């Protein structure tokens, strides 16, 4: 029952330029693996499709790691340049978005590390990755002390690790499957992704269930 057949979501983005010709339906319907293969074989249309379907989300995703927007743009650009150069020798890709997110994260981190003076400083900024928000109204609709609790929600969310936040966001906000979350985050096993999310949710349980929360002394 749990086998999930997920359609790949090639959302059509607004036409921004005349050189972006709408790809024919036939290629849009294809699963990621085939689109990727076509790209590997040098099909420019496949490249076009990959670019238009993913680049905006990549940028938004990258901005969860760094505020240096020029850096994000450069990383995206370099990723595609290097992928294009490696055409003919690219490996198989099941989920293009997960793959692109993964290499984008790697590229950004590489640059951030090169940029930062000390490792300690890097560890510090790493904790800031993937800021998350939960609309407080979704948690406690009928609560009276809502304002006080908003603070608590924020605090609880802040206690999640950046990897927990990343996994939750990929799952909820990006709508990825656990397999894709695992691919994006570089886990060998899908269950690692499942565990991370479960633990994060369990640690938020008190707030989520809406029991009275005692503020910390």
Partner 1 sequence: MRYKDFELVDFLADEFFILWVKNPDKNTQHFWEKWLIEHPEKREIVLKAISIIRGVSYKEGEHLTDSAYIDIFENILSADKEKGKYGRGFLNSDKNNNIKNIAAILIFGFCAWMGYYHTFLYSEPAPVSNKTFVIKRSTPLGSRSLITLADSSKVHLNSSSEISYPSDLATSNRWVELKGEGFFEIKKNGKPFTVLIGGTKIEVMGTSFNVKVEENKLSVALMTGKVMVKDQKGNQVSLYPDEMLVMEKSGDLYKSDFDTLKVTGWKDNVLVFDSDNFENCRKKIEAWYGVEIILKGEIRKSWVYSGTYINESLENVMRGVNFTSGLNYKIENRKVELFN
Q: Answer for the pair 157, 134: CB distance below 8 angstroms, yes or no.
A: yes
Nearest to 42 by CA among 10, 89, 79: 89
Quick check: helix, strand or coil at residue 146? helix
Q: Using CA atoms, how far apart are residues 98 and 101, in angstroms rounded to an integer? A: 5
According to CB under 8 A, which residues from 191 to 210 bind partner 1?
A: 194, 197-198, 201-202, 205, 208-210
Q: Does 80 bind partner 1 (CB under 8 A)?
A: yes
| Residue 19-48 contact track with partner 1, rule CB under 8 A, x = bound | x-x--x--x-------------xxxxx--x
Nearer to partner 1, 63 or 159 (CB): 63
> Which structure tokens are listed for 204?
């938020």
Q: Is 106 in the site for partner 1 (CB under 8 A)?
A: no
Say how far apart CA 13 and CA 168 lie, in whole Å.
Answer: 25
Count of all residues that appear for the chain in the document? 217
Minimum gap (Å) between residue 171 Cβ and partner 1: 6
Name the residue nearer to partner 1 (CB basis): 104 or 217. Answer: 104
Q: Does 135 bind partner 1 (CB under 8 A)?
A: yes
Considering the complex, state which of residue 67 and residue 216 has its C-beta at the smaller distance from partner 1: 67
């Amino acid at each position: 029952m749990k086998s999930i057949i997920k359609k790949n979501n090639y959302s059509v983005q607004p036409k921004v330029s005349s050189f972006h010709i709408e790809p024919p339906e036939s290629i849009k319907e294809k699963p990621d693996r085939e689109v990727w293969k076509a790209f590997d074989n040098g099909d420019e249309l496949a490249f076009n499709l990959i670019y238009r379907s993913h680049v905006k989300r990549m940028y938004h995703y990258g901005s969860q790691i760094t505020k240096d927007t020029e850096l994000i743009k450069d990383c995206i650009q370099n990723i595609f340049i290097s992928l294009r150069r490696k055409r003919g020798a690219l490996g198989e890709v099941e989920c293009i978005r997960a793959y692109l997110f993964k290499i984008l994260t790697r590229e950004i981190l590489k640059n951030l590390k090169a940029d930062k003076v000390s490792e300690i400083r890097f560890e510090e900024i790493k904790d800031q990755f993937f800021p998350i928000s939960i609309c407080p109204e979704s948690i406690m609709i009928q609560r009276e002390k809502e304002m006080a609790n908003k603070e608590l929600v924020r605090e609880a969310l802040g206690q999640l690790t950046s990897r927990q936040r990343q996994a939750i966001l990929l799952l909820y906000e990006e709508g990825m499957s656990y397999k894709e979350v695992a691919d994006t985050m570089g886990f060998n096993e899908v269950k690692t992704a499942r565990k991370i999310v479960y633990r994060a949710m369990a640690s938020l349980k008190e707030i989520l269930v809406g029991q009275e929360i005692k503020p910390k002394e």
